[in-house]
Amino acid sequence: MDLATIIGLVMGFSLVLFAMVSKTSISNFVDGASAMIVIGGGIASAVMSVSLATVMKSGKVFSKAIFHKDQSAQKLIDDLVGYAEVARRDGILSLESAIKDADDPFITMGIQMAVDGTDPELIEQIMNNELDAISERHESGRAFFEAIGKYAPAYGMIGTLVGLVIMLLNMADPDSIGPAMAVALITTLYGSMFANMIALPIADKLSIRNNEELTLKTIIIKGVMSIQSGDNPRIVEQKLKTFLPPSMRDADSKESAE
Residue 215 resides in a domain = yes
Residue 84 resides in a domain = yes
183 near 189, Cβ under 8 Å?
Answer: no
Residue 87 resides in a domain = yes
Q: How far apart are CA 13 and CA 120, in angstroms?
A: 52
pLDDT tens-digit series, residues 21-41: 888 888 888 888 899 999 999
Residue 189 resides in a domain = no
User: 238, 235, 240: which is closest to 221 by C-alpha?
Assistant: 240
DSSP state of 229: T
Expressed as residue numbers, the domain containing 95 is: 71-146+198-258
Confidence of residue 130 (pLDDT cuts 50, 70, 90): very high
Domain count, the chain: 1
Residue 245 resides in a domain = yes
**Dihedral angle, C-alpha 71, 216, 66, 53, nearest 10 °:** -140
Residue 107 resides in a domain = yes
pLDDT tens-digit series, residues 171-220: 777 777 777 788 788 999 999 999 999 999 999 999 999 999 999 999 99
Residue 180 resides in a domain = no
Quick check: helix, strand or coil at residue 243? coil
Residue 158 resides in a domain = no
